[in-house]
Chains A and B, each alone.
Chain A
């Protein structure tokens, strides 16, 4: 794939993640205004918006794009809503990336979700609609249940324990304590995870990311546009997408997510790098097992060795490779339509020196990895500081 223009992230902003009182339209606007201010541009320079959202209907607002554009004073500009379950944000980002690469000079990507007011029962139910419903959701599978099935397969196949999975949660909560916008700012221990209520055996409450409300937004532009505006920017050097069988039953290995491997290879090839060149990564840790599988599928560790890396603290902040310095979905939170965009916000903050106490030292290359459902869809992006 070849492109006309180099693509840059010129600005980024997020609301806090958590239980938010404002409407879905309002939080989308708040994050977008933060990104526009961060970019130092006039909203009228934006040519179009890409909106990622899954359950707008739960807050009585679909067709969010025109609401956002009206609030930004650019109601004449087009917008497009994109849904790819929990991977919506990175897919929207990818579409904007491709359009800037093809010649648009400035676009905005805004991801949002507002679901916590519906309660645990209904959020669990809505999310189950992201599965291959005939085989999974219909049979009572929740999302924790699907990843729990993956976790049990991993425990069966490899030398791993539930305590090892718990260490992922402990690490990400430690990172999240350093992120003022994180949903769950709470120091936890392995014992806390192990003694928390079982949600879907073998996963317990603290193995699971929270249901969150939140919005994140980034301004994407051509290199020429970024240089002309003079603000901090980072370059997008790799972009890849991939797919997997929709149901877990159809995967060759139930402890590998094919779409991650396909997307990562495409992104690495475009960037001309390998996994070894990545300084830090925001990966899709919707459940503790997911982070372990992700770090293997992205090529940071061999198959079955991601668990050893966790045990040896090799993925902590400023260790071999910092995984989820933001706190990840686990601690920062998972407003599903916003998550993939929020990962880019973290990479932008890291590579422009705005990550505060959670800064990954001397980082030059950051990666985002975000998937939909159990990884039926996935996008990976690679970024470089300038």
Chain B
């Protein structure tokens, strides 16, 4: 299974597969192949629960093709608990900013044709 496929399988289980540099310990999303800090290619898997809080987001009303049926929906960027990493994803059922104050607790609940799915906790 490719790294990308492993990442997707983890997301389906509500987890985030990250890669920890074995040289310097810097943490990356698993789709990185060389360490951003030290350039090393050695990584070990570090799997986190896909939970965190909403760092920022938008509610999309003019959607790209294929997303009309979901409008209005949110594209969110979530700060993962216990790491410096953030991760983006699709969140359905959000109509106004009152539905999703910045800082709202959220979690990854799956992966499908809308990419990483994030829901409010």
Residues of A within 8 A of B (CB): 120-122, 124-125, 128, 134-142, 144-146, 148-150, 152-153, 156, 197-203, 247-250, 254
Contacts and interface: CB of A to CB of B under 8 A. Distances in A.
Contact of A152 (B29, B56, B96): B56
Contacts of A120: 62
B59 A201 contact: yes
A78 B74 CA distance: 46
A181 to B, nearest CB: 26
B88 interface: yes
A149 B57 contact: yes
B64 A153 contact: no
Contact of A138 (B60, B70, B87, B115): B115
A152 B57 contact: yes
B43 interface: no
Contacts of A134: 4, 31, 115
A198 B60 CA distance: 8
Nearest to A247: B88
B75 A254 contact: no
A222 B4 CA distance: 48
Interface residues of B, number: 34
Contacts of B86: 249-250
Contacts of B68: 121
A153 B62 contact: no
A248 B61 contact: no
A254 B88 contact: no
A142 B66 CA distance: 12
B63 interface: yes
A156 B102 contact: yes
Residue of B63, B88, B96, B102 contacting most chain A CB atoms (<10 Å): B88
Contact of B88 (A128, A135, A156, A199): A135
Contacts of B75: 136, 139-141, 145-146, 149, 200
Contacts of B59: 198, 200-201
A140 B70 contact: yes
Interface string B71-95: 0010101000000011111100000
A116 to B, nearest CB: 15
B41 interface: no
A50 B112 CA distance: 40
B60 A140 contact: yes
A197 B66 CA distance: 21
Given A136-B75, A248-B88, A124 B115 contact: no
